[in-house]
Amino acid sequence: MRLTALSNPCTAAAAALALFSCAEVAFARPSPEPKVPSRVQWSRNRGKKIARTVLQQSLEARQYSNTTSASCPETKATSITAPYENIWAGLSDGEAASVIAWLFGQPALNLTASENATAWDNTILLVELMIPNKTDAVAYIDSGAATPARYARVVIDNRATVDPYFQDLLVGPLPLNNATASYQPLEFPLTRKTEGKVRNVGADDDDALYSAWLYKIGAEMVDITMDLWGGSAMGADNDTLDIWGIDPLWQDDGRIIRWDSFWNTPNDIFDAETLLPLGLYFKSDVTGRDPSQWKLEGWLYNNIFYNTTEEFRAAYWSGAVEKLAANVDGTWAHTDQQGDVLPSDANYPPTTIAPSGSRFSLDYERKYVEWMDYTFFIGFSRDVGMTLYDIRFKGERILYELGLQEALAHYAGGDPVQSGTSYLDSYYGFGPYAFELVPGYDCPEYATYLNSTFYVDETTHTHLNSICLFEFTADYPMQRHSTSEYVANTKNTYFSVRSVSTVGNYDYMFTYSFYTDGSIGVEVRASGYIQSAYYTTGSDFGWKIQEALSGSMHDHVLNFKADFDILGTANSMQFVENVPVSRVFPWSNGKARNTMQLQRSTLTTEDEARFDWGVNSAKQVLVVNTDAPNKWGESRGYRVLPSFGAMHLTVKDSSNLVNAARWAEYDIQVTRQHDHEPRAAHAYNSQDVNDPPVDFSAFFNGESLEQEDLVLWLNVGMHHVPNTGDLPNTVFTTAHAGLTFAPNNYFDMDQSRRTVNMVRINYSGGSAAEVETFGQKAATCAVDFTPVEYDLWQYKGDVVVRKFPYDPNDPYYETDSIV
Ligand SMILES: *[C@@H]1O[C@H](CO)[C@@H](O)[C@H](O)[C@H]1NC(C)=O
Ligand SMILES: *[C@@H]1O[C@H](CO)[C@@H](O)[C@H](O)[C@H]1NC(C)=O
Ligand SMILES: *[C@@H]1O[C@H](CO)[C@@H](O)[C@H](O)[C@H]1NC(C)=O
Ligand SMILES: *[C@@H]1O[C@H](CO)[C@@H](O)[C@H](O)[C@H]1NC(C)=O
Ligand SMILES: *[C@@H]1O[C@H](CO)[C@@H](O)[C@H](O)[C@H]1NC(C)=O
Ligand SMILES: *[C@@H]1O[C@H](CO)[C@@H](O)[C@H](O)[C@H]1NC(C)=O
Ligand SMILES: *[C@@H]1O[C@H](CO)[C@@H](O)[C@H](O)[C@H]1NC(C)=O
Ligand SMILES: *[C@@H]1O[C@H](CO)[C@@H](O)[C@H](O)[C@H]1NC(C)=O
Ligand SMILES: *[C@@H]1O[C@H](CO)[C@@H](O)[C@H](O)[C@H]1NC(C)=O
Ligand SMILES: [Cu+2]
């Protein structure tokens, strides 16, 4: 539906200045009624919420503009063909289906299809592409060797046993054929050599943990929960309370210990549960798979510990227990507009457009991007979501790989649940929660979108439009200079690729940006609901943000792998530090002058390769190729620097994590690249924190780092102490961290001089004498501005294709999220 223009802000003068015609500006408004899917089922599964649309809907393409006259060109990227295959792109539908069918044909795996499996059956948890070794990939890319052999990485959830475990398998080569196909333990990427196996301490989480334990305890306590909060948590349809607790579980002395607490549940669509703790905690020993052997080890309320349920109940009904206020859902926890509308805010705000259409190219299928002097490929995996590969500038590789490794949210608190929480989010995965983006909000409306795909329960799910790519012109120029005779100024137009993963309560936005000066940015922003604490232990662990609520302090630490290849793989790390000195110069009359100078050093081995940025931002960290001097004899390289929020974990030797997140201990860590050290962490490190599948500290074994293939493991994050401004949600403005990689003597001069989107204006005596625009073209299209709300009716959620039995022609919609 299209309504008439409400106003036309374009004047002739504005049009001339903006270099595009404002001949037509059309405004549309949202359709009045929401389109509700025919039938929506809500169910809980593995702590996940599932919204499933049962009826088949057609997969019509996203429709953007609905133009009525000569409009601006298509803003989607121009389609091109990548120079070589995307060897990181993932399995095709057919490959995934063939691997699943083949695995079900292996009697030794004793597999049960997920839809029929109980907690005592073996199932397939993951089937995805095994990322090829760099050695093979580089031989293919650079030397024309054959494409690396394709294998599937498979994770089996072995639960048909009293000692359940996950196992990583390598299956291949692809395409599978009965004569050559095999599976083997996938052990080489792990530091722990136990055939890719790690125990599963959550094997009964979906089932027995609730039915035979937590709900049973909730039922035993129902007299008290009804009295305190008028609700129950016992698996009943009318429960208004929930029970959950620490992650990872305590793993001391061979025991598996949980601490859980009661939470109020929201009474509407808003996901506010993590804002509604109720302050009652209980401890249980859940070692082993027989719930009849599990033991309740005590209750905690108002900082008083009770050894048994009887003891707590007796104290409670004797009136000895002070009844504390409850945290209850309300508009304070809702993100919809509230409060007085801001002045003029009902008018549409400024927005950006792409009047010349797309200025970049994409191989949509291979996920290969060309923008200005840059090219790169996009890969996508369950554990970490989007990863960029073979990032080049003017054909020279800068980075072989750039991507997230793990994200930690380490809480602390006076209660055992906050104190025991240290989420290692790749356990849940960034891929499965990289939801569809919202055009005009998450990314400019003119962005180009790609889908991403992940495996779950013998299906592949596709997040539609979950990666966006767009150019953006910054609100500040790349360069400027004024004199009394001229002013010179250059636009700062950059290119970004972005995805957002909502892992439970938190939304992480990941953005990689490319600038015309040759610099590359990595940014993370966090929004969504905080996980809060019941306010009983005072101010040591957070601000009081509601009557009974503490903004629970926590560190977010996110690790990125940056595998630099500066003019080849042989690279070195140099430091150049500004240091204060007292120095005598030939011209200083024998007197020392208090000044400063540069102190240069080189990182020689992995023994010194775990460090922090240092005080006063005085130290420059450079990745250089000392065999590749520029024409002045300086080594060409890139500087690595924090742009915001460089940090490491505050907690030392975390009781929660032990060896599971050694990568979080320093700001920056450098290793020699090895095919057997592809990732700093493993999705199941939380399952055995003392002896995790990947103990990052084992990567450091004294190897030389001079003119070797180097990998930088870089931490950014936030020391997050949520305050009232985090209610109802944390905002992206301050929950923000990032890194910049900037050319350092890499080029002979600033590369941004190549753009024509610059101007020089000579002036004198009150008038301009020359306006030099370097051959820029004026855009003269009609701006057909269709506000984003109209198109948002195209939002769909995930598309699912069943793989076993393989049913490629009957996709359906289903979207999962974590509670
Ligand atoms: C798009 O434009 C066409 C032709 O002008 C019109 O028939 C149609 O109703 C418009 N669609 C929407 C959704 O506005
Ligand atoms: C699940 O079990 C049912 C009933 O035995 C069977 O018909 C179905 O094929 C099974 N599903 C799969 C994917 O094997
Ligand atoms: C195979 O799994 C079933 C459960 O699906 C289990 O009962 C049986 O013991 C397992 N067989 C072997 C040999 O482990
Ligand atoms: C491979 O083996 C399976 C199971 O034995 C059989 O069903 C299939 O037809 C075989 N495929 C080929 C190509 O021989
Ligand atoms: C749930 O329903 C049962 C049975 O109707 C009732 O006894 C109980 O009080 C209800 N619980 C809550 C929390 O309303
Ligand atoms: C609770 O257990 C602790 C440690 O076992 C013990 O010292 C204490 O006396 C017990 N308290 C009560 C009230 O039984
Ligand atoms: C995303 O998936 C949808 C549905 O399968 C498809 O129509 C669309 O072309 C895909 N988009 C891209 C960019 O491949
Ligand atoms: C990849 O590298 C690892 C470690 O060096 C090696 O064990 C493995 O065989 C390699 N994979 C392939 C397909 O060559
Ligand atoms: C403008 O300034 C540039 C740089 O000084 C000079 O080369 C050019 O001749 C000037 N043009 C005019 C019209 O004065
Ligand atoms: Cu936070």
pLDDT interval class at 819 (50, 70, 90): low
Q: Is residue 84 part of a domain?
A: no
Q: Are residues 283 and 400 in the same domain?
A: no
Mutate to test the pocket of ligand 8, among 140, 188, 190, 699 (most ligand atoms within 8 A of CB): 188
566 CB-contact burial (10 Å; exposed 0-12 / middle 13-18 / buried 19+): buried
Q: Is residue 514 part of a domain?
A: yes
Q: Are residues 418 and 482 in the same domain?
A: yes
Is beta strand 360-363 parallel, antiparallel or unpaired with respect to 78-79? parallel
Question: Separation of 140 CA from ligand 1 center, angstroms?
Answer: 49
Q: Does the annotation count 506 as an active-site position?
A: yes
Q: Are residues 730 and 583 in the same domain?
A: yes
Distance CA 598, CA 619 (A): 9
Contact by Cβ (8 Å): 601, 574:
yes
Question: Separation of 804 CA from ligand 2 center, angstroms?
Answer: 10
Q: Is residue 111 part of a domain?
A: yes
Distance CA 701, CA 703 (A): 6
Q: Does the annotation count 425 as an active-site position?
A: yes
Ion ligand 10, residue ranges at CB < 5 A:
720
Ligand nearest to the CA of 769: 9
Ligand nearest to the CA of 449: 7
Cis peptide before 248 (omega within 30 of 0): yes
The answer to whether the CB of 457 is under 6 A from ligand 2 is no
Chain segment 232-267, per-residue pLDDT in tens: 999 999 999 999 999 999 999 999 999 999 999 998
Partners of residue 625 on adjacent β-strands: 636
Neighbours of 614 (CB within 10 A): 12
Pick the atom of ligand 6 nearest to 311's CA: 13
Contact by Cβ (8 Å): 500, 434:
yes
Neighbours of 70 (CB within 10 A): 12
Say what the pLDDT of residue 801 is. 84
Neighbours of 267 (CB within 10 A): 11
Based on its alpha-carbon atoms, the radius of gyration of the chain, rounded to whole angstroms, reads 29
Quote the DSSP letter at residue 229: H
Last residue of one domain, picked from the residues 315, 333, 351:
333
Q: Is residue 57 part of a domain?
A: no
> Mean of the pLDDT values across residues 488-495?
98
Question: Separation of 117 CA from ligand 8 center, angstroms?
Answer: 33
> Mean of the pLDDT values across residues 667-688?
98
Q: Is residue 794 part of a domain?
A: no
Asked whether residue 15 carries a pLDDT value surpassing 50, the answer given is: no
The one catalytic residue in 506, 512, 515, 535 is 506
Q: Are residues 305 and 384 in the same domain?
A: no
Q: Are residues 612 and 672 in the same domain?
A: yes
Terminal Cα distance for the chain, rounded: 36
Chain segment 417-449, per-residue pLDDT in tens: 999 999 999 999 999 999 999 998 999 989 999
Q: Specify the CATH number for the domain of residue 327.
A: 3.10.450.40
Asked whether residue 21 carries a pLDDT value surpassing 60, the answer given is: no
Closest by CA to 164, choosing from 126, 128, 205, 130, is 205
The one catalytic residue in 204, 260, 425, 816 is 425
Q: Are residues 364 and 421 in the same domain?
A: yes
Q: Are residues 511 and 660 in the same domain?
A: yes
Say what the pLDDT of residue 419 is. 97
Q: Are residues 300 and 165 in the same domain?
A: no
Chain segment 782-807, per-residue pLDDT in tens: 766 655 454 677 778 888 888 777 88
Last residue of one domain, picked from the residues 740, 760, 780:
760
Atom 14 in ligand 1: which residue has the minimum CA distance?
A: 1
Q: Are residues 103 and 214 in the same domain?
A: no
Pick the atom of ligand 5 nearest to 237's CA: 1
Atom 5 in ligand 1: which residue has the minimum CA distance?
A: 68
Chain segment 726-771, per-residue pLDDT in tens: 999 999 999 999 999 999 999 999 999 999 999 999 999 999 999 9
Question: Separation of 718 CA from ligand 10 center, angstroms?
Answer: 7
Q: Is residue 770 part of a domain?
A: no
Closest by CA to 411, choosing from 649, 611, 150, is 649
pTM, entire model: 0.90
Asked whether residue 640 carries a pLDDT value surpassing 90, the answer given is: yes
Q: Is residue 109 part of a domain?
A: yes
Question: Separation of 255 CA from ligand 4 center, angstroms?
Answer: 45
Pick the atom of ligand 2 nearest to 805's CA: 13
Q: Specify the CATH number for the domain of residue 632.
A: 2.70.98.20
Q: Are residues 153 and 260 in the same domain?
A: no
Chain segment 288-332, per-residue pLDDT in tens: 999 999 999 999 999 999 999 999 999 999 999 999 999 999 999
Last residue of one domain, picked from the residues 760, 779, 799:
760
Question: Separation of 675 CA from ligand 8 center, angstroms?
Answer: 7
- Domain span at residue 240 reads 208-333
Q: Are residues 393 and 542 in the same domain?
A: yes
Q: Is residue 8 part of a domain?
A: no
The answer to whether the CB of 762 is under 6 A from ligand 9 is yes
* Tally of domains in the chain: 3
Q: Are residues 169 and 284 in the same domain?
A: no
Chain segment 22-36, per-residue pLDDT in tens: 333 333 333 333 333
